[in-house]
């Protein structure tokens, strides 16, 4: 039996999803895409999981689509790549919309679909050895995985245009400076720092964090009036929920809140 393309380990309420095709530099193929969606659904549904960390194995985070598989499809490439993209996107969408935070621990180079996965995190930690490349047009292709949606929102249209049209490589330090990732950490400290961040999030008000995730994404396309209405409804719902009551009680009692 083949090893899974992505592994799942659950520790103290944190789900660690590890891209596990190091011999292929964690490239995306149909089995990878199916597994990503399967595990994303599991993480979203399992109430014992309070935070998800996505990272890679080996020296690379993810180099994008498996070009060997694209080539092998021959005349059926349009149908094959379309099916792969739709399957991959199902996992991307679930991770982006699940009601719990996502941390990406980018252990090495990320390109193409790997770039899309890397920047998906609410908190994106990049190892110093990581770098980022769009890579699509270099092989005559166009973005997938939400890259064309996320990049303009994270780094602005001009930088997104340059990344996608010229495939300029962005180093880890520059990525942090322009907002592509949250911050850079030493390679040997990546897992420890990702664990620290994930643990803090997992102990936080998960329902409120879920509403924060949704508000931030919705703000990209909402007018001010609509967003103010959404914020009012959300903070009211949060105040009436157990997390909000606990947070207020803890503040008044001058003690740490207990959200778990």
Active site residues: 89, 144
220: tokens are 């990209």
3-state secondary structure of 61: coil
**In what helix (H) or strand (E) does residue 16 lie, and over which residues does it extend?**
strand 14-19
Using an 8 Å Cβ cutoff, are 121 and 179 in contact?
A: no
Cα torsion through 98, 107, 151, 225, rounded to 10: 40
CA-to-CA separations, 95 to 35, 37, 45, 98, 116, in angstroms, rounded: 13, 8, 11, 6, 12
């Amino acid at each position: 039996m083949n090893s899974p393309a992505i592994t799942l380990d659950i520790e103290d309420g944190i789900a660690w999803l590890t891209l596990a095709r190091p011999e292929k530099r964690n490239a995306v193929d149909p089995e990878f895409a199916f597994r990503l969606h399967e595990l994303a659904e599991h993480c979203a549904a399992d109430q014992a999981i309070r935070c998800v960390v996505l990272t890679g194995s080996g020296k690379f985070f993810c180099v994008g689509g498996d070009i060997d598989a694209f080539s092998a499809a021959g005349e059926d490439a349009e149908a094959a790549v379309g099916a792969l993209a739709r399957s991959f996107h199902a996992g991307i969408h679930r991770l982006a919309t699940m009601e719990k935070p996502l941390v990406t621990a980018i252990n090495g180079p990320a390109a193409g679909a790997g770039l899309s996965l890397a920047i998906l995190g609410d908190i994106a930690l990049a190892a110093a050895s990581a770098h980022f490349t769009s890579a699509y047009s270099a092989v005559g292709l166009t973005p997938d995985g939400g890259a064309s949606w996320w990049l303009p929102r994270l780094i602005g249209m001009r930088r997104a245009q340059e990344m996608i049209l010229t495939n300029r490589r962005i180093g880890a330090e520059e990525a942090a400076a322009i907002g592509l990732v949250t911050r850079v950490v030493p390679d040997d400290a990546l897992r420890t720092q990702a664990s620290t961040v994930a643990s803090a999030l997992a102990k936080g008000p998960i329902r409120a964090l879920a509403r924060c995730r949704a508000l931030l994404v919705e703000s990209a396309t909402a007018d001010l009036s609509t967003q103010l209405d959404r914020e009012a409804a959300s903070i009211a719902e949060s105040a009436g929920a157990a997390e909000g009551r606990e947070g207020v009680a803890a503040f008044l009692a001058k003690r740490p809140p207990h959200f778990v």
